[in-house]
Amino acid sequence: MNKPLRRIALFCGLLVLALLVRDNWLQYLQADSLRTDPNNRRVLIARYSKPRGDIIVDGDPITGSKKTSTDSLNDFAFKRTYKDGAMWSPVTGYASQAFGATQLESIEDGILTGDDDRLFFRNTLNMLTGKQQQGGNVVTTLNGAAQKAAYDGLKRVGGKGAAVALDPQTGAILALASYPSYDPSSFAGNSTTVDSKAWTKLQKKNDPSDPMLNRALRETYPPGSTFKVVTAAAALENGLYDSADQNTDSPLPYILPNTRTELKNEGSIPCKNATMRVALQFSCNTVFGKIGADLGKEKMLEEAKKFGFDSEQFTPVRANASNFPKDMDKAQTALSSIGQYDTAATPLQMAMVASAVANDGKLMKPYMVDKLQTPGLDVLTQTQPQELSRPLSEKNAQVLQSMMGTVVKDGTGKNAQINGVTVGGKTGTAQHGLNNSEKPYAWFISFAKLGDGSSPVAVAVVVEDNNANRDDISGGGLAAPIAKNVMEAVINSKK
């Protein structure tokens, strides 16, 4: 070969090598960035060229897919539909052609679209046989009757609020409701005249009630007196008091440490040196505030963390971390120990508190996905219950169960009583706004115990009722009836 031909051959070889390098660079190193590039419309066309798999509750889908009219302005063949969308949106999130996806629709998108690597073998077979790729299903732990009871109860009360129900023995989420809510179907497409307008209308700047906020997982509220359950647990676990019926060292009036400020109770209630049972029954601020100050911030923080405070939870949808303050003086520790100052909790967190007490001191990790299914309904993965922590010993948990039972039997939680079922609970009315200027939050946490000793459900409900008079707002009056209906729904579904 003469010299000019060798040069041409070498140049052509370099061009082929450059082409191979570029091809591999695009196919492997840049594949993900190209796939997720918002300007890559082919990915979106492929995503919406087939029906998505479904999210399942009680064996039935609460989602679907609808054929759209394709034209030059809309080349997406299918869009998402939702059954009782407003009720289920805190669980499903949304999948929108124009606005992306959130929550289960986003986290399990690979399964729902059929693009998950775990479906590679099935997809390869479908390709060889000419079948269209199909999405798998996400089977949830949710209980349809409990969810309806929670959502309908919040809607009936009005205002804003949330409710969460857990299976204390497994951590399975049975209900997850938020109000006000939104229907994801209203903006599932990409129409500028319909979907975009619906989306814009739901934004907080246009709707101050913020219907797209998942209050069950993403909003933290002062828990008020429901936090006294955590304080009682800390007192028992640290040996400050040995039983529910031992008199506490609780003077009246009680002056917050190193201040001249009196910590007051609501009305004339028997709080002086009251037992913890009586103090929980009547919700004595003085007793539990002093317990927190006596234990100190380190022991209170340690106990709060055992219940899940200061940690995000992934269900797999992320829940905000609840907060128990780290930097406090003794007076602030007393206020934090009755659920005020900077103490803040999600409804999920307070349901976890109730569930740990109900489950004899064992806190299970909350989860809402039971299993993932292939398009052929084979089980791809199954969630196994997982212990998160042990906030209480079995003995102390049973002491606290008895105390919470007294609250419902003879105290502020009577509206949660269920015939033939032992119910334990705690009410709370948490201050809200500067100098308590706004409507307080009404809380109720509870659990149900059946005759065989099992506990099928623990619940937390929080309500902010903008239309009620201040004197009418209480956890027992607003939140407890909702919790009762949710517990009854779970119990009846197991019969």
The chain-wide mean pLDDT, for the chain, equals: 90
- Look at residue 470 in the predicted model and tell me its pLDDT: 44
- Look at residue 40 in the predicted model and tell me its pLDDT: 65
pLDDT confidence band for 472 (50 / 70 / 90):
very low
pLDDT at 487 over 50: yes
Mean pLDDT of 157-174: 96
SS (H, E, C) the chain: CCHHHHHHHHHHHHHHHHHHHHHHHHHHHCHHHHHCCCCCHHHHHHHCCCCCCCEEECCEECEEEEECCCECCECCCEEEEECCHHHHHHHHCCEECCCEECHHHHHCHHHHHCCCHHHHHHHHHHHHHCCCCCCCEEEECCCHHHHHHHHHHHHHHCCEEEEEEECCCCCEEEEEEEECCCCHHHHCCCCCCCHHHHHHHHCCCCCCCCCCCCHHHHCCECCHHHHHHHHHHHHHHCCCCCCCCCECCCCCCEECCCCCCEECCCCCCCCCCCEHHHHHHHCCHHHHHHHHHHHCHHHHHHHHHHCCCCCCEECCCEECCCECCCCCCHHHHHHHCCCCCCCEECHHHHHHHHHHHHCCCCEECCECEEEEECCCCCEEEECCCCEEECCCCHHHHHHHHHHHHHHHHHCCCHHHCECCEEEEEEEEEECCCHHHCCCCEEEEEEEEECCCCCCCEEEEEEEECCCCCHHHCCHHHHHHHHHHHHHHHHHHHCC
Mean pLDDT of 409-425: 96
pLDDT confidence band for 475 (50 / 70 / 90):
confident
- Look at residue 319 in the predicted model and tell me its pLDDT: 98
Mean pLDDT of 180-199: 94
Domains of the chain with CATH codes: 219-368+389-493 (3.40.710.10)
- Look at residue 471 in the predicted model and tell me its pLDDT: 44
- Look at residue 438 in the predicted model and tell me its pLDDT: 61
Q: Out of 185, 186, 225, 446, pick the active-site residue.
A: 225
30-39, 76-85, 180-189, 444-453: the lowest-pLDDT one: 30-39
Identify the residue with better confidence: 233 or 74. 233
- Highest mean pLDDT among 23-37, 171-185, 373-387 belongs to 171-185
- Highest mean pLDDT among 13-22, 237-246, 462-471 belongs to 237-246
pLDDT at 68 over 50: yes
pLDDT confidence band for 434 (50 / 70 / 90):
very low
- Look at residue 465 in the predicted model and tell me its pLDDT: 66
Q: Is 493 among the catalytic positions? A: no
pLDDT confidence band for 429 (50 / 70 / 90):
confident
pLDDT confidence band for 12 (50 / 70 / 90):
confident
Mean pLDDT of 290-305: 98
Identify the residue with better confidence: 34 or 22. 22
pLDDT at 39 over 90: no
% of the chain residues with pLDDT over 90:
74
- Look at residue 267 in the predicted model and tell me its pLDDT: 85
- Look at residue 323 in the predicted model and tell me its pLDDT: 97
pLDDT at 458 over 50: yes
pLDDT at 73 over 60: no
Mean pLDDT of 459-464: 95
- Look at residue 309 in the predicted model and tell me its pLDDT: 98
- Look at residue 126 in the predicted model and tell me its pLDDT: 60
- Look at residue 8 in the predicted model and tell me its pLDDT: 76
Mean pLDDT of 414-442: 81
- Look at residue 57 in the predicted model and tell me its pLDDT: 98
101-115, 412-426, 455-469: the lowest-pLDDT one: 455-469
pLDDT at 468 over 60: no
